[in-house]
Amino acid sequence: MIEVKNLSKSFGDTQILFDVSSKFEAGRVNLIIGASGQGKSVLTKCIVGLHEPDEGSVIYDGRDFSAMGRKDRIEVRKEIGMLFQGSALFDSMTVEENVSFPLKLFTKMSKEEIRDRANFCLKRVNIIDKNELLPAETSGGMQKRIAIARAIAMNPKYLFCDEPNSGLDPKTSILIDNLIKEITYEYNMTTIVITHDMNSVMEIGDHIIFINQGRNWWEGDNNEILRTENKEVVDFVYASSFMKNLRDKMINN
């Protein structure tokens, strides 16, 4: 479980996050949702230590990450898998080299063990016989799956995905969402997914926090989000005409 307690963050005179608290449990897909520019990425970067919060703390399974020195943080960092916006694969490395990269960097595994582990992870995301290709030689959906394979290579306890569906078609998005959900349950990971995709919210939202104006504005699951009367959440959920139609149908029946 990751616990965020009273997190605040400013850049210069501009405060971005205001006293954000929440708990993200293991074996669940936790979503951070909200419109653009509300602070989702900044919050996530504070959680993983890419930004230093001004106030508050982040606790990884009882370990106070915020209070740790560099060395201890590196140990926690090894337990974190990350999937950033875009696929962020290394262009000049092959598919297999990309997935092997964290293993080479952070473990003492032998070449053979690394190859086996990379192949295991690639197989898990259904990428087979693509080891020697460069990322650019594969499709966008494949690149995302390769990035997932790399993110799970170290067998992480925690998985962060920032807009995993950006740039993907709807069908591929569903595939990626389901893959994230499956591996979360399979490995009992604490998964945090940032998204503004309502499809993802409905498909995989076990626990959702809605960030608005840098605050934890609303919290619940994907059943509750359809029933809330919180104005900003309703505006977000029903921004698409598809969802509006769905709501009208629900109300008329």
Please give the residue ranges that form the binding site for ligand ADP (CB under 6 A).
11, 16, 34, 36-42
- For residues 34 and 156, which CB has a smaller minimum distance to Mg ion in the complex? 34
- For residues 60 and 236, which CB has a smaller minimum distance to ligand ADP in the complex? 236
Residue 33 site contact among Mg ion, ligand ADP, none (CB < 5 to 8 Å, cut-off depends on kind)? none
Shortest Cβ distance from residue 9 to Mg ion (Å)? 14
- For residues 96 and 162, which CB has a smaller minimum distance to ligand ADP in the complex? 162
Return the SS3 of 57: strand
Shortest Cβ distance from residue 32 to ligand ADP (Å)? 8
Shortest Cβ distance from residue 17 to ligand ADP (Å)? 8
Residue 212 site contact among Mg ion, ligand ADP, none (CB < 5 to 8 Å, cut-off depends on kind)? none
Residue 11 site contact among ligand ADP, Mg ion, none (CB < 5 to 8 Å, cut-off depends on kind)? ligand ADP
Residue 253 site contact among ligand ADP, Mg ion, none (CB < 5 to 8 Å, cut-off depends on kind)? none
E strands of 37-147, at which residues? 55-60, 63-64, 80-83
Shortest Cβ distance from residue 232 to ligand ADP (Å)? 13
Q: What contacts 24+ positions apart, CB below 8 Å, involve 165-174?
A: 165/195, 165/197, 165/200, 166/85, 166/86, 167/86, 167/140, 168/140, 168/141, 168/144, 169/141, 170/199, 172/140, 172/141, 172/144, 173/197, 173/199, 173/200, 174/199, 174/203
Shortest Cβ distance from residue 34 to ligand ADP (Å)? 6
- For residues 41 and 87, which CB has a smaller minimum distance to Mg ion in the complex? 41
Q: Determine contact, residues 51/11, Cβ cutoff 8 Å.
A: no
Neighbouring CB atoms inside 10 A of 132's CB total: 10
- Which amino acid does the sequence have at 223? N
- For residues 43 and 103, which CB has a smaller minimum distance to ligand ADP in the complex? 43
Residue 184 site contact among ligand ADP, Mg ion, none (CB < 5 to 8 Å, cut-off depends on kind)? none
**CA 163 centroid distance within chain:** 7
Return the SS3 of 131: coil
Q: Which of 22, 38, 41, 195 binds Mg ion (CB under 5 A)?
A: 41
Shortest Cβ distance from residue 196 to ligand ADP (Å)? 8
Report the alpha-carbon angle 157-151-66, nearest 5: 50
Contact footprint for Mg ion (CB under 5 A):
41
